[in-house]
Amino acid sequence: MRFPNSSIAIVALAPFIALALPAKGTFSSLSIRNQNQANAPDTLISIEVLSRTEDRHNVDTLSSPLRSRGNNPSVLWRTGGSPTFIVVYPSTVVNAVSVINVIDACYKLILHSIQQHGDVILPGGYFNWMGINGIAVEAINANNHQLTWGVLAAALKAVKQYMEANGYRQAHFDIYDGENMVGKGLIYTPPYLQPIIGD
């Protein structure tokens, strides 16, 4: 179909097009930026994770009351060879062996599940594991996306690598698969137990 006065329509709509464009300094929660990754400084990422607000990164959907203390910075961490990465919000120091043991146990459980059932979404959109030394791991779907076993395994691998380089702490973390935040996770000492090592 041909529109005889299409150039007139474009000119008439031009003022409204300008109103639809974002103003300088406004951006969505994910915006293009050249930011280096903490563990791969030669690799650029294509998203920016904005500063944390209590509403945006509320972890109340999980059972832990864990919150970052003060102005602990968030850190983006990626595992090699995977589109999965995490943004970690560290908190209080905990026993390294306990954290390593619980992450390794979760990782083995996840790999076993993948071997038995394939890389499917988490049953009920939720994962919870309590380690024998009082450290727990939880993960849940986020932003209307579904977390799979494979993405959770890659996220836990990233958490372990981050902690090996930066120290072992309770932490909550956002899980990204490419540019989509697909889940949230926690590594923490449950509320009824005290941290093994204080900071």
Where residue 5 falls among pLDDT bands split at 50, 70, 90?
low
134: region left, alpha or beta (phi > 0 left; psi from -120 to 50 alpha)? left
75 pLDDT above the threshold of 50 = yes
Of 58, 90, 46, nearest to 187 by C-alpha is: 90
Judge contact between 136 and 118, C-beta under 8 A.
no
pLDDT digits (tens, 9 = 90+) for 106-123: 999 999 999 999 999 999
**Domain residue limits, the chain:** 29-188
Least confident of 34-48, 87-101, 181-195: 34-48
Of 30, 119, 43, nearest to 79 by C-alpha is: 43
Q: Which residue has the higher pLDDT, 33 or 66?
A: 66
User: CA 104, 127, 161 angle in degrees (round to 5)?
Assistant: 35
Tokens of 122: 């988490």
pLDDT digits (tens, 9 = 90+) for 89-102: 999 999 999 999 99
At 37 the pLDDT is 53
At 4 the pLDDT is 54
